[in-house]
Chain A
Amino acid sequence: MSAIVRVRNLSRVFDVSKPWLNRVIERLPKARLRAVDDVSFEIEENACYALVGESGSGKSTIGKMVVGLLPPSQGSVEVMGVDLATEPEGERRVEVRANLQMIFQDPYASLNPRWKVRDIVAEPAVAQGKATDGLAEALLEKVGLSAVDAGKYPHEFSGGQRQRICIARALAGEPKVIICDEPTSALDVSVQSQVLNLMSDLRADLGLSYLFISHDLTVVRHMADTIGVLYLGALIEEAPRDRLFEDPKHPYTQMLFEAAPKMDAFGREIDPPKGEIPNPIDPPSGCPFHPRCPIAVDRCSVDRPELRWIGSTRVACHLAE
């Protein structure tokens, strides 16, 4: 297997300063938010790579940079061996970019309410100048809707059905990789399972690869082959699925697993995790997790740990072994 997407040292800085005049009057420096900090990973062909993290972990920003909705501040995204930021040939860039599609979190906002489903689904093909006769109908049937639905408007569908339409639209571009940004977090559980099953089927049938972005550990555990855990914009642990869940190395990963509600834990009395995610504008020194870490030592507040290999796990912690 070879990597279809290579993300190298990806960083993104947002300028979150107050307006210029306020800064002058209040004598404030420019405020910068490092939303994504030096993240590298690879997505194998026909694999599902998941990024998990809580709010502010930068997972959605990474998704947007991979798909090209946001330019990276530093680093590169390489798709099928082509670096999209530096590739000089415009045509090649368009061609490679067409292999990336995205499914968004909110199935209500991601479909133009004034368009018929037929036009929505066929839009990627229209943009690529391909024939669209019967395309929407065929794709709708592929995602478990019926061809008749092509003539309807989005508001006639439920949340789960809308997400199917979004998937059909993504497929119309004949992508190799689909970036899924919290594709089921707006859906009810019973509908979520329908959509997840559909995504698994499509991956098997069409040889798709997924970059799956989610905060939900149970969903990630079901879908992913490899999982990267993000904290404050940085990748702090990455491992194959089973290995990560059986033997989490990073204290943050351990805390996340411990805190997640479990079906079989009746009246469980856990010692809830300490503290909250720090303000990303003013992140802690050293290891970003050290103020909340139960095993932190002096070194953690000074020295920022690099990712290092332990078996098949990559972990950024001084103490993990």
Chain B
Amino acid sequence: MTDPVLSVQGLTVEIPGRRGILRPVDDVSFDIAAGEILGVVGESGAGKSMTGNAVIGLLDPPARISAGQVMLKGEPIHTTKGDAIRRIRGKRMGMIFQDPLTSLNPLLTIGDQLTETILQHLDVSEPEARRRAMTALDDVGIPAVEDRIDSYPHQFSGGMRQRVVIALALCAEPEVVIADEPTTALDVSVQAQVLALLKRLCREKGLAVMLITHDMGVIAETADRVAVMYAGRMAELGPVRDVVTVAHHPYTAGLMASTPDASRGEARLRQIPGSMPRLGNLPAGCPFHPRCDRVGEKCRHDPRPDLSVDGGRAACWFPLTEKAET
């Protein structure tokens, strides 16, 4: 594999609070290569969005990166501040948010928004920027670009709007795209369109994509590798096919078993008991141990495991190594 475009090592985010310091992201490491989609999956509160925001430098104070590094093509960017990070953000990294309505300015035409972004980050003339804006819209499958470039966001449907947001994220030709739940607000049929588009653009443009979602099905279909997060930590990391067929971490296994699947034909769904602990109240040892059915003494008392205990795959003392019988 070539050198990773985006490399995150030991990333830790802290929020100083009234009852002590919270760590919504704790020692998270991953790489994304060009043309690769890394899926980041987890339930609400797992820290997946916070990880995305930390990578692109969009943490709201008082949250801050307290340890670790974020490298873009070998160059550290986690300490970059002010104008410099803003330049990187628009130019070299793009972000796609969940709600397309709030990420577009309702008072500007989409053409203006695209042209403005291009002019800000690329050294081109205004007519050239507009031409590129049209290409960008064409790229994301907006029909009749000529007629629609001067429309306002509210004149587009939900799916079309999300396409515009993707065009906006890609128009300055970034190397990395962070997509935070890009299809959660969309209907199934439109979701399929947007995911297919994301996959195509990733391959054609050699983008490194970080796809954040709670939907294991979306990950299975779209991502090349998957990172499973639990309570701010990395629970499992591996090629998507391996993780989905034989999950090593009991949490990953439970997550997939609790998704209803008629092919298993069971009357009752598998369930993980309880819910994710609050950040201010993490259990000692492995954060998953109170909900885990493979829990042992080691899990309760030893310091929490990281991915290295299972050869870089799962943060679990007793990983599952063969497909659990259903």
Contacts and interface: CB of A to CB of B under 8 A. Distances in A.
Are A and B in direct contact (Cβ within 8 Å)? yes
Interface of A: 54-55, 158-161, 188-194, 196-197, 200, 215, 217-219, 221-223, 245, 255-256, 258-270, 272-273, 276-277
Nearest to A260: B188
Minimum-distance CB pairs A-B, first 6? A261-B217, A193-B258, A222-B260, A188-B43, A54-B187, A259-B192
Nearest to A245: B262
15 contacts: A54-B189, A158-B275, A190-B275, A193-B259, A196-B269, A197-B269, A261-B191, A261-B195, A261-B215, A261-B218, A266-B240, A266-B244, A267-B221, A267-B224, A273-B193
A265 B240 CA distance: 11
Contact of A276 (B158, B261, B267, B273): B158
A199 to B, nearest CB: 11
B211 interface: no
Interface string B207-229: 00000001111101110100000
Contacts of B158: 55, 276
A196 B273 CA distance: 13
A245 B262 CA distance: 10
Contacts of B276: 188
Contacts of A193: 258-260, 269-272
A317 to B, nearest CB: 17
Contact of A189 (B160, B190, B199, B214): B214
Given A194-B271, A222-B269, A276-B158, A264 B260 contact: no
Given A189-B216, A221-B260, A276-B158, A259 B221 contact: no
A191 B241 CA distance: 25
B159 interface: yes
B254 interface: yes
Contact of B254 (A190, A192, A258, A270): A190
Contacts of A255: 189
B268 interface: yes
A200 B160 CA distance: 39
B277 to A, nearest CB: 10
A203 to B, nearest CB: 12
A212 B187 CA distance: 18
B191 A259 contact: yes
B196 A272 contact: yes
A42 B214 CA distance: 35
B172 to A, nearest CB: 26
A260 B187 contact: no
B50 interface: no
A56 B160 CA distance: 16
B70 to A, nearest CB: 27
Contacts of A190: 43, 254-255, 258, 271-272, 275
A189 B255 contact: yes
A128 B268 CA distance: 34
B244 A264 contact: yes
Interface in B170-214: 187-193, 195-196, 199, 214
B281 interface: no
Contact of A263 (B157, B222, B244): B244
Nearest to B270: A193
B44 interface: yes
Given A190-B258, A276-B159, A262 B217 contact: yes
A188 B44 contact: yes
B256 interface: yes
B139 to A, nearest CB: 15
Given A158-B275, A266-B244, A256 B262 contact: no
A213 B109 CA distance: 37
A149 to B, nearest CB: 14
A38 B11 CA distance: 56
A195 to B, nearest CB: 9
Contact of B190 (A197, A218, A276): A276
Contacts of A264: 220, 244
B19 to A, nearest CB: 16
B192 A265 contact: no
B221 A261 contact: yes
Nearest to B159: A276
Contacts of B220: 261-266
B40 to A, nearest CB: 15
Given A223-B260, A276-B190, 19 more contacts: A54-B187, A54-B189, A160-B275, A188-B44, A190-B255, A191-B275, A192-B258, A193-B271, A196-B269, A197-B269, A218-B261, A218-B262, A245-B262, A259-B192, A266-B220, A266-B221, A266-B241, A267-B222, A270-B196
Contacts of A270: 192, 196
A221 B264 CA distance: 12
Contacts of A266: 220-221, 240-241, 244
A223 B269 CA distance: 10
A146 to B, nearest CB: 13
Contacts of B160: 276
Contacts of A269: 196, 199
B188 A259 contact: yes
Contacts of A256: 188-189
Contacts of B159: 276
A215 B222 CA distance: 21
A255 B192 CA distance: 10
